[in-house]
């Protein structure tokens, strides 16, 4: 358990953050300049807050009077720019902080062939894999990842992400993952802390936060919307059938392994509401849902919150449509959507 | 004199003075360069100015100040003699001190540039991996600034080898004791008909300076390869 409760004046930005990271992956999400990196630096001891408290597993790292030096904190930190030691080989880099799970991590991250190389000869993706293994080999009590994929191009991102997924879970320590990319959030986060201008705007379990339409304004235009935790039930005629708390959901393509978990993103703009079951349309999914709430969105549209089975979803609808259909809380509607974005967990 | 014992005495004394001056000044230059590059404190500019003073003062003034401070009657010189029996004025050790003081700013400048070029982020990464500040300096900072330290040392060595004004003021030019190549050349030029000796010493000066430069280039290239390869 990592507890963070800090205040700091950083130029024009007033940082005032309070959150807890139990186990699993907590994503620190927010626009550039929201103060995410400063929070992570404070946890690592690279930045001293003005006041507050940081504790890791009951060990106080900072409380105004005490400021434990970075090298005594046992934090594993993966920086955006890898920060490998240029004068050492990959193996020397890896072993710098210890050889915890050395062979294991070398295998997992596919570094066997790189051990004798120097950082200058590595690709961006390889550098980040080395940095990740190096941080874990120091047997940290918390793993901090500051936009580890931001400096990589699309294919390199896709190369490193599966490693992150596998390791974030197997690390066995709390993970703080800084990003402003929705895809990484969906694929990695158990919990999310949304930061806005130095403060925590929303926080909680990912499903709960994304099911709240208020979270939409922190995401890119098309990214707002609930996510649906599912299990792969079966593959059928080029379609993947998923079981969820909302019922069965279909996904084009043969994806995942049967019985394995999968996360579905249901962008609010892609959800169509209908009072009668729709027939003769191409979207694969139609769920019966009850309207729980209708509220305004910052862009003038309305957010219609739904409960489909036991799963919360929401749809972005124009005020005109709401009026025309006479939608109101308590009504049962049919939510039609085309599921595309997927994140296996 | 040409290539006789007196000639080699001048050359070896010069080398001895320059090597001792360079190696003796290097740790202090490294420490000061680090302080100037990394620490901010009251009097930072003053300290920086003080370090660079020998670069801008007339060398004769520096030599005279050394004489005042380190002469047998000077505040530091008297202490050194009373406690350790060390005399610097008019000895080869004094010549080494004068050369070191004159070479010092050049060494500090070169090393400081190197330290400022080191990415603090790399050092921070080492700290998060559990390395104490001492270990970070020894395993990260020092290897990364090694080329700059080398450059500073070579620059300092060349300066020490050629030092004239402060040396002759502080320790005069006593043959076999404090007469280095520059003061020997100067002395020889005062008497007509010794141009041959002068030319020999000039050639030796050029060879030593070029040799030092080439050696440092070679070492720097090797270090750069270690970092880049």
What is the secondary structure of B25-70 as a DSSP string? HHHHHHHHHHHHHH---TTHHHHHHHHHHHHHS-HHHHHHHHHHHH
Q: Is A164 on the interface with B (CB under 8 A)?
A: no
Task: Please list every residue in chain B whose beta carbon sits closer than 8 Å to the beta carbon of residue A76.
Answer: 128
pLDDT tens series, chain B, 229 aa: 677 888 899 999 999 999 999 999 999 999 999 999 999 999 999 999 999 999 999 999 999 999 999 988 889 989 998 898 888 888 999 999 999 999 999 999 999 999 999 999 999 999 999 999 999 999 999 999 999 999 999 999 999 999 999 999 999 999 888 999 999 999 999 988 888 889 999 999 999 989 988 988 888 888 777 665 4
DSSP class of residue B139? I
Contact A253, A271 (CB under 8 A): no
Q: How far apart are CA B141 and CA A312, in angstroms?
A: 54
DSSP A1-36: -EEEEEEEEETTEEEEEEEEE-SSEEEEE--TTSSH
Task: Please list every residue in chain B whose beta carbon sits closer than 8 Å to the beta carbon of residue A114.
Answer: none
Task: Please list every residue in chain B whose beta carbon sits closer than 8 Å to the beta carbon of residue A120.
Answer: 227-229
Averaged in consecutive runs of 10 residues, what is the pLDDT profile of chain A (345 residues)? 95 95 93 94 96 94 93 96 94 96 92 94 93 95 94 83 82 91 88 95 94 91 86 89 90 86 88 87 84 93 94 94 93 86 51
Q: Is A249 helix (H, G, I), strand (E, B) or coil?
A: strand
Give the largest CA-CA distance in chain B: 69
- Among the partner-chain residues A87, A121, A138, the one whose CB lies closest to the CB of B130 is A138
Rg (CA), chain B: 20
Q: Is A74 on the interface with B (CB under 8 A)?
A: yes
- Which two structure tokens, joined as six digits, stand for B199? 């030319």
Centroid of chain to Cα B11: 17
Q: How far apart are CA B68 and CA B64, in angstroms?
A: 6
Instruction: Say what the pTM is.
Output: 0.86
Residue to mutate among B122, B128, B131, B229, with most A CBs inside 10 A, is B128
Q: Which helix (H) or strand (E) holds A252?
A: strand A247-252
Q: Which of residues 139-178 of B touch A (CB under 8 A)?
A: 139-140, 143-144
Nearest CA to A216 out of A314, A96, A78, A146 is that of: A314
Digit-coded pLDDT (tens) for A11-69:
999 999 999 999 899 999 999 889 999 999 999 999 999 999 999 998 999 998 899 99
- Which two structure tokens, joined as six digits, stand for B160? 């020490």
Task: Please list every residue in chain A whose beta carbon sits closer than 8 Å to the beta carbon of residue B136.
Answer: 71
Q: Is A73 on the interface with B (CB under 8 A)?
A: yes
A120 and B229: CB-CB below 8 Å?
yes
Which chain A residue shows the shortest CA-CA distance from B121?
A83
Q: How far apart are CA A167 and CA A183, in angstroms?
A: 17
B128 and A118: CB-CB below 8 Å?
no
Task: Please list every residue in chain A whose beta carbon sits closer than 8 Å to the beta carbon of residue B126.
Answer: 85, 96
CA distances (Å), origin B137, targets A30, B127, B133, B143: 35, 10, 6, 9
Task: Please list every residue in chain B whose beta carbon sits closer than 8 Å to the beta carbon of residue A37.
Answer: none
* Residue A204: burial class (beta carbons within 10 Å; 0-12, 13-18, 19+): middle
Q: Nearest 5°: phi and psi at A126?
A: -65, -40
């Amino acid at each position: 358990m990592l507890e963070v409760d800090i205040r700091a004046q950083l130029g024009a930005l007033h940082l005032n953050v309070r959150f807890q990271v139990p186990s699993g992956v907590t994503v620190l999400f927010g626009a550039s300049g929201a103060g995410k990196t400063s929070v992570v630096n404070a946890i690592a001891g690279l930045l001293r807050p003005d006041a507050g408290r940081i504790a890791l597993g009951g060990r106080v790292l900072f409380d105004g009077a005490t400021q434990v030096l970075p090298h005594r904190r046992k934090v594993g930190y993966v920086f955006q720019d890898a920060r490998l030691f240029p004068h050492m080989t990959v193996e020397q880099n890896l072993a710098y902080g210890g050889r915890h799970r050395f062979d294991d991590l070398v295998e997992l991250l596919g570094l066997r062939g790189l051990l004798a190389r120097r950082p200058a000869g590595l690709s961006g993706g390889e550098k980040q894999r080395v940095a990740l293994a190096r941080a874990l080999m120091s047997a940290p009590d918390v793993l901090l990842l500051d936009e580890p994929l931001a400096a990589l191009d699309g294919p390199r991102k896709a190369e490193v992400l599966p490693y992150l997924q596998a390791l974030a879970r197997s690390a066995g320590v709390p993970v703080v993952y800084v990003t402003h990319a929705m895809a990484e959030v969906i694929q990695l986060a158990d919990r999310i802390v949304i930061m806005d201008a130095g403060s925590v705007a929303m926080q909680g379990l990912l499903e709960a936060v994304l099911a709240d339409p208020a979270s939409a304004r922190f995401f890119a235009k098309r990214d707002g919307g609930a996510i649906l935790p599912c299990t792969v039930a079966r593959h059928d005629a080029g379609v993947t059938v998923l079981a969820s708390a909302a019922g069965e959901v279909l996904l084009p393509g043969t994806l995942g392994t049967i019985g394995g978990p999968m996360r579905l993103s249901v962008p609010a703009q892609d959800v169509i509401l209908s009072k009668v079951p729709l027939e003769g349309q191409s979207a694969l999914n139609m769920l019966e849902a009850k309207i729980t709430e209708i509220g305004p969105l910052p862009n003038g549209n309305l957010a219609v919150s739904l409960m489909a089975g036991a799963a919360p979803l929401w749809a972005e609808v124009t005020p005109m449509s709401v009026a025309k259909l006479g939608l109101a809380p308590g009504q049962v509607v049919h939510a039609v959507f085309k599921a595309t974005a997927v994140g296996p967990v | 004199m040409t290539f006789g014992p007196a000639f080699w005495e001048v050359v070896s004394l010069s080398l001895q003075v320059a090597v001792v001056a360079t190696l003796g000044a290097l740790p202090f230059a490294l420490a000061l360069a680090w302080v100037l590059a990394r620490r901010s404190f009251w009097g930072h500019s003053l300290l920086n100015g003080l370090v660079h003073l020998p670069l801008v003062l007339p060398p004769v003034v520096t030599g005279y100040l050394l004489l005042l401070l380190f002469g047998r009657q000077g505040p530091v010189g008297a202490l050194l003699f009373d406690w350790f029996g060390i005399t610097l004025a008019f000895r080869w050790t004094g010549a080494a001190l004068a050369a070191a003081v004159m070479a010092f700013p050049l060494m500090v400048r070169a090393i400081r540039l190197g330290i400022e070029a080191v990415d603090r982020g790399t050092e921070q990464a080492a700290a998060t991996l559990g390395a104490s500040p001492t270990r970070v300096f020894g395993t990260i900072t020092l290897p990364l600034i090694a080329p700059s330290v080398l450059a500073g040392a070579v620059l300092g060595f060349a300066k020490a080898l050629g030092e004239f004004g402060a040396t002759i003021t502080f320790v005069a030019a006593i043959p076999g004791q404090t007469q280095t190549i520059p003061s020997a050349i100067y002395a020889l030029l005062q008497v007509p008909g010794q141009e041959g000796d002068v030319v020999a010493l000039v050639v030796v000066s050029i060879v030593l300076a070029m040799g030092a430069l080439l050696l440092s280039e070679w070492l720097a290239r090797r270090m750069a390869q270690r970092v880049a390869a």
